[in-house]
Amino acid sequence: MRNSIIIFFVVLFIFINCGDEIKKQEVDTRSHCEIALDYINNCIGAEVPRLKHCDEGVAIEIVNTPCSELSKVIFDK
């Protein structure tokens, strides 16, 4: 009987504490092009001027590319 009470309290403690680590995720309201431009700025360490036209598909590909390979994606398009 004593073991059952201990197990009950352990299980209860686990269920009470499980929800503490859930955090709200922030939603990024910027366009893919704005996100890609900020990513490029961070990769090269300088500010790139804003573009008049932007291809959303290329922007997504840029963000999914490691900084070390970024020049290949930008200059091959």
pLDDT in tens, 18-34: 655 556 677 888 899 99
User: In the prediction, which pLDDT does 5 show?
Assistant: 80
Residue 59 placed within a domain: yes
User: What mean pLDDT comes out for the span 28-48?
Assistant: 88
The pLDDT of residue 19: 58
Domain membership of residue 19 (yes or no) is no
Half-sphere exposure of residue 61: CA atoms within 13 angstroms, side-chain side: 14
Question: 70 is in which domain, residue-wise?
Answer: 28-77
The answer to whether 53 and 33 have CB atoms below 8 angstroms apart is: no
Does residue 4 form part of some domain?
A: no
On whether residue 34 sits in a domain, the answer given is: yes
- Residue holding tokens 């939603």? 27
Determine, yes or no, domain membership for 35. Answer: yes
The pLDDT tens digits of the residues spanning 52-67 come to: 888 888 888 889 999 8
